[in-house]
Structure 1
Amino acid sequence: MGYLKYTQYVYILFAVFFLYDGAVKLNEGNESYPLSFIIAGMAIFMFFFRRRFLKKNQDRNKNQ
């Protein structure tokens, strides 16, 4: 389960990519830019969710 410690950072990479994509689409006048910002927001949420879940799991394993 050691790889789960690092997979949470993939969500940050997705968020950065979709924030950049949304900014480019916004400047071009493309009307699909809100979708990129929504996906970026979801990726940021998933980063914190996975981080909290991993910490909770590590604390549970420490107490056993």
Structure 2
Amino acid sequence: MIKILKYTEYLYLAVAIASIYKIITLWGVAQQETYIFIFFAVISIAMFLFRRNYRRKFEKRKQDNQN
């Protein structure tokens, strides 16, 4: 279960990196699409941080229950 949570948090990070790449490539060309990718990047980074925090709490709770 923990490995799945770790993979999903890095999936959000990959989406953020891909969105930042698209932001850089579209910056002067298509302004409307750039705003969409900025939104995706911000949400993906926020979800990465949220998932990482949630996974750490879950691991700590599991470790405390074992002791």
Q: TM over 0.5, yes or no? A: yes
Partner of 1:63: 64
Instruction: Return the alpha-carbon distance in structure 1 between the equivalents of residues 41 and 31 of structure 2.
Output: 16
Query: 5+ residue gaps in structure 1?
Result: none
What is the root-mean-square deviation of aligned Cα atoms in Å?
1.0
Q: CA deviation at 1:31?
A: 2.1
Aligned residue pair count = 63
Letter in 1 for 2:63: K
Query: 5+ residue gaps in structure 2?
Result: none
Q: Which structure carries more relative contact order (alpha carbon 8 Å, separation 6+)?
A: 2
Structure 1 segments, 4+ long, off by >6 Å, are none
Partner of 2:54: 53
Task: With the length of structure 2 as denominator, give the TM-score of the two structures.
Answer: 0.85
